[in-house]
Structure 1
Amino acid sequence: MPFIRVSYLEEHYREEQLAGIARTIMTALQEEFDVPDEDYFQVYHGHKRGEFQYSRNYLQVSRSDGLVFVQITLASGRSTEKKQRFYRELAALLQAECGIREEDVFVVLVETGLENWSFGNGVAQMIEIDERIR
């Protein structure tokens, strides 16, 4: 049930490139976090140069204007090891499939409880699913 927000410098990526990024992120989520095919919710934000600020060398990572910020809101509970595998897999896939340098893949996972999700109809579907499984 991840919700993905991707931010980038607007003149750097074209629509077809963004579609490739979307597919690649979904592939990594499916491979590393077992996300189902239909659980696909992504929003892309292109920013003007003045709206897109970042450190070019923080923590000795050399970033370029090809930087993409990938914020993923998801249910909590995955291990540190699983998260680290996801970061590596996503960076490697984005480089191989989309030509984005691994240094330019900035990822933030935001974990939240099941009660914080409604996928429509004013219902917290994930709570209902969780209660049925118990």
Structure 2
Amino acid sequence: MPLVRVDITTAYTKEEAKLLLDVVHQNVVTWFKVPDRDRYQVLTRHSEDELILEDTNLGFERSSKRISIQVFSRKRDDQAKLDFYKNVVGELSEKLEISGKDVLISVFENGDADWSFADGEGQFVNGVL
């Protein structure tokens, strides 16, 4: 936990996708203070016409390397989220030469009863976690 969904275009190689997921995970660990083995990620590839991420009238264009990162998580501090956004984009730029304009990140918060990690139990609610 958190559960991270990453949507990319087919412009990414398998190696680039792995590195991208590693960058996102390391930043989840760092900024959301979760254990390293708390890794839940879903990667989906799309043709360019299936991943539409416009600019919300901010005046920029996205490339074929556009990415949507969705993080489903318990409540997180606003500053931790801002640091997460900035550092994910910085590392993706540094390690994969991805423009910050190509990265859309959303955090969706939920509560303890919204998670079952296995066996149909609510581990946060029943005290296992």
Partner Cα separation in structure 2 for residue 23 and residue 50 of structure 1: 26
Partner Cα separation in structure 2 for residue 60 and residue 85 of structure 1: 24
Q: Deviations over 1:3-27 (max 9, x none)?
A: 01111112x1011111101110011
Larger % of helix: which?
A: 1
The partner residue of 1:104 within 99, 102, 105 is 102
Q: 1:117 to 1:32 in 2, by over 3 A?
A: same
Farther off after superposition, 118-127 or 59-68? 59-68
Map 1:95-134 → 2, pairs under 5 A: 95-129=93-127
SS at match of 1:29: helix
TM-score by length of 1: 0.87
Contact 1:28 1:93 in 2 (8 A): no
Partner Cα separation in structure 2 for residue 65 and residue 22 of structure 1: 18
Counterpart position of 1:13? 12
Q: Deviations over 1:23-67 (max 9, x none)?
A: 100111111111211100111111123312222573234321111
AA paired with 2:69?
Answer: V
TM-score by length of 2: 0.90
Q: Which runs of 5+ in 1 are unaligned?
A: none
**Does residue 1:91 correspond to 2:89, yes or no?**
yes
SS at match of 1:83: helix
Partner Cα separation in structure 1 for residue 114 and residue 56 of structure 2: 35
Q: 1:26 to 1:85 in 2, by over 3 A?
A: same
Q: 1:50 to 1:63 in 2, by over 3 A?
A: closer
SS at match of 1:124: coil
Counterpart position of 1:66? 65
Partner Cα separation in structure 2 for residue 66 and residue 22 of structure 1: 14
AA paired with 2:120?
Answer: G
Aligned-pair identity (%) = 26
SS at match of 1:125: coil
| RMSD over aligned Cα atoms | 1.7
SS at match of 1:127: coil
